[in-house]
Amino acid sequence: MTEPVLSVRGVVKRYGDRTVLDGISLDVHEHEVVAVIGSSGSGKSTLLRCVDLLEELDDGQVLLDGVDVSDPRVDADVARRGMGIVFQAFNLFPHMSVLDNVTLAPRVVHGVPRAQAERHAVELLDRVGLADRAGAYPEQLSGGQQQRVAIARALAYSPRLLLLDEITSALDPELVGEVLALVRELAQTGRTILMATHEMGFARQVADRVVFLDGGRLIESGPPEQVLGEPVHPRTRQFLRRIIDAGRL
């Protein structure tokens, strides 16, 4: 078996004396889409933030293509160039146009000439269906459009791994579809994706594997039809029952 793109090994994260991640281990292989589910507060977002090295680990390792990027001797800025993250609240830069948001990293971090970066950005914006809004500012866009720009921004430097942190949670229901359609397309084109999500139906359709997080532990992992259909662990069953009762599956 080839080396996984991402390998999380025994990651522990504490805030004060609250343990948010309690020894998480997880591999994501090339072209694989892994969905992380779990109730709010289970540590999904923290896991993604730890993987992107936005949080310092209290124990364990994050390996990217076999390289331990969580090592304090490794330059986190360099390691992050291999990853792209999309946040729940978009986090676009409000003082920059859509085009500048997308071209910022290629130009500043990767030294791509402006003309080339912009050409690539327009292609990407075309793929997310927003080529005509390149000159607009984030505030002039709908939530769904902003999130699609954020995805284009994360893809602009062709990262090995795409991290999606509950990217539809802040969206109006009628805007969720357009973003999920985009993610589905990315999955089909062979992107390696680790996503935290509340959209169980979507996880079932798109993910190759679903992992269930509870109280900072990875309790169950497997193909979507198994984890979401016939979960083994009682906590998973309880969680899914609540989701079904809320009419979300």
- To other proteins, the closest distance from the beta carbon of 42 in angstroms equals 19
19 phi and psi, to 5 degrees?
-90, 115
Q: Pattern 164-203, binding to other proteins, x per CB under 8 A?
A: ----------------------------------------
Contact 161, 81 (CB under 8 A): no
Cα distances (Å, whole numbers) of residue 45 to 39, 115, 197: 11, 35, 9
The CA distance from 162 to 244, in Å, is: 28
The C-alpha angle 15, 20, 26, rounded to 5 degrees, equals 135
Q: Which residues, at least 6 apart from 210, have a Cβ–Cβ distance to it below 8 Å?
A: 34, 35, 36, 37, 203, 204, 221, 222, 223, 224, 227, 228
- To other proteins, the closest distance from the beta carbon of 164 in angstroms equals 19
- To other proteins, the closest distance from the beta carbon of 13 in angstroms equals 12
- To other proteins, the closest distance from the beta carbon of 70 in angstroms equals 8
The CA distance from 148 to 150, in Å, is: 5
Residue with the two structure tokens 């993610």 = 183
Query: Is 61 or 169 the residue whose CB approaches other proteins more closely?
Result: 61
Q: Pattern 29-58, binding to other proteins, x per CB under 8 A?
A: ----------------------------xx
Query: Is 20 or 156 the residue whose CB approaches other proteins more closely?
Result: 20
Residues 56-115 touching other proteins, rule: CB under 8 A, are 57-61, 71-73
Residues 5-24 touching other proteins, rule: CB under 8 A, are 10, 12
The C-alpha angle 118, 147, 83, rounded to 5 degrees, equals 70
- To other proteins, the closest distance from the beta carbon of 162 in angstroms equals 22
- To other proteins, the closest distance from the beta carbon of 60 in angstroms equals 7
Query: Is 50 or 102 the residue whose CB approaches other proteins more closely?
Result: 50
Binding site for other proteins (CB under 8 A): 10, 12, 57-61, 71-73
